[in-house]
């Protein structure tokens, strides 16, 4: 019986579906350290994680029998994707499923900060009746600057415009503007115009420290700052300085450079004593609707890979979309991207007069993936010959 390990409170649908498909499933609430993960992965075929568990090169070397990792979240920077691919471990994520949840929280943060709700709430809790319009603004007519115009940034653009905001955005890649949004050719132009700046860049290592003292200094007087993307992208010490100086009027931060591994663990931040400040514990995508959608989406990708060999939407392997196999068996052969592998696969099968009913090949970078449906199951000697082809990373036979 194949085995799956699901960590970090993944939606119950994932465990239920995998069990229905014949997997033995173990679930754990929190994240695991590297050594804990290595121990827990003994005999495990599929691993499900969220953002706190790191699948490092050491983990992969210790448990090379692992077949696939499902990241039940948007990001995949917690997995060594390149090394996993070289060892034949497919990685899947959910790039769209919690987009709406993140966008709604950004909108809520913008409204609350522009109305100074955190500051008023703090005063009320400490016995101060501070009924004043000073510093409070409508969102209508204000300029929202979106840094990173991907799935989240573009949907945020649409909702912000519906509230009457002017939207400008900055992205390194050419992106189609939604509605009346305007693309800015450089970051400083955006920062100098935006009443609210929100970060939605990805988790690649090159984005570490992307938004620091220089960028905060270019922001408008009394602007607000929001980060619901990655904790290592923004310099929180610089943010604090600009809040304390009165340059910025408020901020919302949902992600932090170092975060606890489990819910309920202690957490401190120097931003806690700031007046007009919203602090949330990395819950941008944490709605019941989003978690259920992620549970369905990633589980389906893992099951399709295990039972069909389909790598559709894998983030580190060549993408091949496959239906149920036609014939007696399906041979999925993952290999180094070398010339002639497909011909050698067919030569081995041809030596036993095995008819090929369907075949797909995909390559990406240094990895190739050929999936072959055959009319009869090859002999053990033929299968061994396929496993021993030059460049073979991993081979699986489905029948």
The residues annotated as belonging to the active site are: 230, 259, 282
As a whole number of angstroms, the distance between CA 92 and CA 112 comes to: 35
As a whole number of angstroms, the distance between CA 249 and CA 220 comes to: 10
Nearest to 271 by CA among 307, 315, 314, 226: 226
Task: Judge whether 325 and 398 are in contact, CB under 8 Å.
Answer: yes
- With tokens 């002017």, the residue in question is 166
As a whole number of angstroms, the distance between CA 288 and CA 200 comes to: 22
* DSSP 3-state percent helix, strand, coil across the chain (nearest 5): 35, 20, 45
As a whole number of angstroms, the distance between CA 145 and CA 182 comes to: 10
The backbone torsions φ and ψ at residue 117, rounded to the nearest 5 degrees and listed phi first, read: -60, -45
Task: Judge whether 54 and 32 are in contact, CB under 8 Å.
Answer: no
For the record, the structure tokens of 218 come out as: 């270019």
Read off the DSSP letter of residue 375: S
Helix (H) or strand (E) holding 386: helix 380-387
As a whole number of angstroms, the distance between CA 43 and CA 337 comes to: 29
Nearest to 215 by CA among 240, 243, 235: 235
- Pairing status of strand 68-71 against strand 392-398: unpaired
Nearest to 47 by CA among 8, 83, 75: 8
Alpha-helical segments (H) within 282-379: 288-308, 341-350
* 41 Rama sector, left if φ>0, alpha if ψ -120 to 50, beta otherwise: alpha
């Amino acid at each position: 019986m194949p085995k799956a390990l699901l960590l970090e409170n993944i939606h119950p649908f994932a465990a239920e579906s995998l069990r229905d498909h014949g997997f033995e499933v173990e679930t754990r609430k929190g994240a695991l350290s590297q050594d804990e993960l290595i121990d827990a992965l003994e005999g495990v075929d599929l691993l499900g994680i969220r953002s706190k568990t790191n699948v490092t090169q050491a983990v992969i070397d210790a448990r090379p029998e692992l077949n696939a990792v499902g990241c039940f979240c948007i990001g995949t920077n917690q997995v060594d994707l390149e090394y996993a691919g070289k060892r034949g471990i497919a990685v899947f994520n959910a790039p769209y499923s919690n987009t709406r949840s993140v966008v709604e929280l950004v909108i809520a943060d913008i409204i609350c900060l522009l109305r100074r709700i955190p500051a008023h709430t703090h005063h009320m809790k400490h016995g101060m009746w501070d009924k004043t319009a000073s510093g409070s603004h409508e969102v209508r007519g204000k300029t929202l600057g979106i840094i990173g115009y991907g799935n989240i940034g573009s949907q945020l653009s649409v909702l912000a415009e519906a509230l009457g905001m002017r939207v400008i955005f900055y992205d390194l890649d050419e992106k189609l503007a939604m509605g009346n949004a305007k693309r800015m050719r450089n970051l400083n132009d955006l920062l100098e115009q935006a009443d609210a700046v929100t970060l939605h860049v990805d988790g690649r290592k090159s984005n570490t420290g992307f938004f620091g003292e220089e960028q905060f200094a270019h922001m408008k007087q009394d602007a607000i700052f929001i980060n619901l993307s990655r904790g290592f992208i923004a310099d929180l010490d610089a943010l604090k300085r600009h809040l304390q100086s009165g340059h910025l009027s408020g901020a919302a931060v949902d992600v932090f450079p170092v975060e606890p591994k489990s819910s309920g663990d202690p957490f401190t931040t120097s931003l806690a004593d700031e007046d007009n400040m919203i602090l949330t514990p990395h819950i941008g995508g944490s709605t019941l609707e989003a978690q259920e959608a992620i549970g369905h989406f990633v589980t389906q990708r893992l099951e399709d890979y295990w039972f069909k060999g389909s790598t559709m939407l894998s983030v580190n392997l060549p993408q091949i979309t496959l239906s149920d196999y036609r014939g007696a068996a399906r041979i999925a052969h993952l290999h180094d991207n070398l010339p002639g592998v497909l011909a050698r696969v067919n030569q081995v099968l041809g030596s036993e007069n095995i008819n090929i009913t369907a075949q797909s090949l995909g390559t990406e970078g240094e990895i190739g993936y050929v999936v072959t449906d055959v009319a009869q199951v090859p002999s053990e000697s033929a299968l061994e010959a396929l496993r021993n082809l030059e460049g073979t990373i991993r081979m699986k036979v489905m029948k």
